[in-house]
């Protein structure tokens, strides 16, 4: 496989900010549906068959999607692969599969290494390659719609710890409902529970099974309003093994009758320390 010289970087259309809701928000609204692309690499599959690749980043609220679309001569082609994004001085920022979402790290210049496989059934092309490019994002990092804090934040094996999550809705983006989830490490003997009627351990099997997942707790929060934080108390019982407990929260960003407009917020992680 040979790699020819990349094309010069290109920039797409100027940025546009779209309103998320009719009411003015006290914090900056997110940029939605914008994309920035630079030239990637040309992969040579032999017999005159090539794949001309690009590196693209698109912003959707607080999420960034990195993709590496390809153009194959006289035929459509499919791309699969992974990426690794770092700052210019090498600090890791994100990694994962191409065309999947990650948190937007904010404006700046980043180095992205792509490992991709490009295939075209029509031309018989099947080529792999790894290449690195820099890409610059200028979009402001959206202010969070909600914030989540927890206290205490450290667990110990063999103990039961009561922790309190505080969810604060920061502005009028989103609506007053959200789903807060806490997840321990499966198979480590961690058990999560709460007396809050909004919270439950999710069912693990099909009806009529009543088995539940003890290491997961879901809380359906209602009536979240700016100026009135909501608290959720949870008991964490650890066995002899350590387990961290992560948290995340999903919420709506209403835009008329649009369907794909939800948000996901990463919450704090409970660490485990042996006494």
Q: What is the pLDDT of residues 204-248, one digit of tens each?
A: 999 999 999 999 999 999 999 999 999 999 999 999 999 999 999
Secondary structure tally for the chain: helices H, strands E: 0, 21
| pTM recorded for the entire structure | 0.73
Domain end position, chosen among 101, 116, 137: 137
Domain end position, chosen among 105, 137, 169: 137
Higher pLDDT, 252 or 231: 231
**CA pair distance 200, 216, nearest whole angstrom:** 9
The enclosing H or E element of 244 equals: none
Same domain, 132 and 166: no
Domain end position, chosen among 117, 137, 157: 137
Same domain, 159 and 245: yes
**CA pair distance 37, 64, nearest whole angstrom:** 13
**Is 70 exceeded by the pLDDT of residue 11?**
no
The percentage of the chain sitting over the pLDDT mark of 70, rounded to a whole number, equals 88
Looking only at the bridges linking them, the beta strands covering 108-120 and 78-87 are antiparallel
Domain containing residue 172: 146-272
**Could you tell me the CA-to-CA distances from 255 to 26, 28, 173 in Å, in that order?**
18, 17, 10
Q: What is the pLDDT confidence band of residue 68, given thresholds at 50, 70 and 90?
A: very high
How many domains is the chain built from?
2
Same domain, 228 and 250: yes
Same domain, 111 and 171: no
Residue 17, both tokens: 């900010």
Same domain, 56 and 28: yes
- Which is nearest to 40 in space by CA: 66, 13, 70, 77? 70
Same domain, 166 and 132: no
CA angle, corner 59, sides to 54 and 60, nearest 5? 135
Residue 29, both tokens: 């609204």
pLDDT confidence of residue 264: 86
Same domain, 195 and 255: yes
Same domain, 251 and 226: yes
Same domain, 9 and 115: yes
Q: What is the pLDDT confidence band of residue 155, given thresholds at 50, 70 and 90?
A: very high
Same domain, 133 and 150: no
**CA pair distance 270, 265, nearest whole angstrom:** 16
Tell me the mean pLDDT in the region 9-25. 33
- Which is nearest to 273 in space by CA: 161, 181, 182? 161
- Give Cβ neighbours of residue 195 (< 8 Å, ≥ 6 apart): 233
Same domain, 133 and 7: yes
8 A C-beta contact, residue 243 and residue 190 = yes
The percentage of the chain sitting over the pLDDT mark of 90, rounded to a whole number, equals 69
Same domain, 237 and 130: no
pLDDT confidence of residue 60: 82
């Amino acid at each position: 496989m040979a790699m020819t010289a990349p094309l010069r970087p290109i920039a797409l259309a100027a940025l546009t900010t779209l309103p998320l809701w009719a009411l003015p928000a006290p914090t900056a609204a997110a940029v939605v549906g914008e994309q920035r692309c630079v030239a990637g690499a040309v992969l040579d599959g032999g017999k005159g068959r090539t794949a001309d690749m690009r590196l693209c980043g698109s912003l959707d609220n607080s999420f960034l999607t990195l993709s590496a679309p390809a153009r194959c001569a006289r035929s459509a082609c499919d791309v699969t692969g992974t990426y690794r994004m770092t700052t210019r001085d090498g600090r890791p920022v994100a990694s994962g599969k191409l065309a999947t979402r990650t948190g937007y790290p904010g404006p700046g210049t980043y180095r992205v290494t792509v490992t991709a496989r490009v295939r075209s059934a029509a031309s018989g092309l099947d080529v792999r390659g790894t290449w690195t490019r820099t890409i610059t994002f200028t979009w402001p990092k959206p202010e969070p719609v909600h914030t989540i804090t927890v206290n205490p934040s450290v667990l110990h094996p063999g103990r039961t710890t009561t922790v309190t999550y505080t969810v604060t809705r920061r502005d009028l983006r989103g609506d007053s409902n959200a789903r807060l989830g806490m997840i321990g490490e499966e198979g480590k003997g961690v058990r999560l529970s709460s007396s809050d009627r909004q919270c439950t351990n999710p069912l693990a099997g099909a009806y009529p099974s009543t088995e539940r997942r003890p290491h997961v707790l879901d809380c359906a929060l209602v009536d979240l309003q700016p100026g009135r934080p909501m608290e959720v108390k949870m008991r964490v019982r650890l066995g002899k093994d350590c387990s961290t407990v992560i948290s995340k929260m999903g919420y709506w960003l209403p835009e008329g009758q649009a369907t794909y407009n939800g948000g996901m917020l990463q919450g704090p992680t409970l660490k485990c320390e042996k006494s």
